[in-house]
């Protein structure tokens, strides 16, 4: 988390205080970590590794180092295919043939559900109006990984993501926290539309949305949130 906060400052000029507030950690904790290791090269590599994992998941594990490196260059990164290949090996990511995607939604227990505030209107004229949250399962050479992401429907760009061996509330929260930090913490009024998975109905996730003044919206269990 500390490496992510540092990378947000280096890559997007987001103040440390904003990221700490969005992630719910103290600035004192962060500066204590930074004092132990302030290597810009290490922070850049950590951010790059996270982005490589995200792109691997975005393409359902079908892209190898050459195609992921091309995507990174399109995003403005100066990186070689060999560097990407090293980062993929370190994370146990190996491109495979396309397989049918398995649903990862687990309907939450209890009666609480957010209302559907989107109503299949998957368009927005301005950023920070409608976000969509979703998760997917990725097969790697080391086993299964889970990817959670948050997409701004206006820009069609992923603003937050998290990768973990477990499909749980912490994973969804990590993607949400990153999205809030990337947008400077000013996300009050954003509609976050998801399915009814237990990670989104959990108290921790609901409290995070309330703290950020994000309005939760939900479709039916297992429904596809986005097309195209």
pLDDT in tens, 82-112: 888 888 888 888 876 555 445 455 544 556 7
Beta bridge partners of 164: 146
Same domain, 210 and 142: yes
Instruction: Output the pLDDT for position 64.
Output: 87
Same domain, 104 and 194: yes
Same domain, 131 and 225: yes
* Within a domain: 146: yes
Closest CA to 214 of 133, 155, 149, 112: 133
DSSP 221: T
Same domain, 23 and 115: no
* Within a domain: 113: yes
Same domain, 131 and 168: yes
For 162, the 3-state DSSP assignment is strand
| Residue span of the structural domain in which 82 resides | 2-90
DSSP string over 60-100: TT---HHHHHHHHHHTT----HHHHHHHHHHTT-------P
Same domain, 127 and 205: yes
Instruction: Output the pLDDT for position 111.
Output: 63
Instruction: Output the pLDDT for position 227.
Output: 40
The torsion angles phi and psi of 140, rounded to 5 degrees, stand at: -125, 175
Same domain, 106 and 59: no
Instruction: Output the pLDDT for position 179.
Output: 92
Q: What is the mean pLDDT of the chain?
A: 79
The pLDDT of 22-46, averaged and rounded, is 68
Same domain, 83 and 107: no
Q: Which of 90, 122, 147 is the last residue of a domain?
A: 90
Which of the pair, 150 or 26, is modelled with greater confidence? 150
For residues 7-28, one letter each, b for 16 or more C-beta atoms within 10 angstroms of the residue's C-beta and e for the rest, the string is bbeebeebebebbbbbbebeee
Residue % of the chain over a pLDDT of 90: 21
pLDDT of 33 strictly over 80: no
Instruction: Output the pLDDT for position 217.
Output: 94
Task: Indicate whether this model's pTM tops 0.75.
Answer: no
Same domain, 148 and 198: yes
Looking at the structure of the chain, the number of domains it has is 2
pLDDT by residue (tens digit) across 111-135?
678 999 988 777 888 999 999 998 8
Instruction: Output the pLDDT for position 108.
Output: 47
Which of the pair, 49 or 36, is modelled with greater confidence? 49
pLDDT of 180 strictly over 60: yes
Instruction: Output the pLDDT for position 224.
Output: 44
Which of the pair, 8 or 87, is modelled with greater confidence? 87
């Amino acid at each position: 988390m500390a490496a992510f906060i540092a990378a947000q400052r280096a890559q997007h000029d987001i103040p440390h205080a904003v990221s700490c507030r969005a992630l719910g950690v103290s600035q004192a904790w962060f500066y204590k970590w930074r004092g132990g290791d302030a290597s810009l090269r290490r922070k850049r590599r950590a951010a790059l590794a996270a982005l490589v994992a995200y792109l691997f998941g975005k393409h359902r594990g079908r892209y190898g180092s050459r195609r992921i490196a091309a995507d990174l260059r399109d995003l403005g990164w100066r990186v070689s295919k060999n560097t990407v290949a090293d980062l993929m090996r370190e994370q146990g990511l190996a491109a495979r043939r396309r397989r049918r995607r398995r649903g990862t939604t687990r309907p939450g227990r209890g009666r609480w559900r957010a209302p559907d505030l989107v109503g299949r209107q998957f368009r927005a004229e301005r950023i920070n109006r409608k976000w969509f949250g979703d998760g997917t399962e990725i097969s790697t050479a080391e086993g299964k990984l889970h990817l959670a992401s948050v997409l701004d429907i206006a820009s069609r760009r992923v603003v937050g993501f998290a990768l973990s061996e477990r499909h749980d509330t912490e994973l969804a929260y990590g993607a949400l926290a990153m999205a809030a930090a990337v947008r400077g913490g000013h996300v009050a009024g954003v509609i976050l539309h998801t399915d009814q998975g237990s990670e989104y109905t959990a108290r921790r996730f609901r409290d995070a949305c309330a703290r950020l003044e994000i309005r939760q919206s939900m479709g039916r269990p297992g429904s596809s949130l986005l097309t195209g």
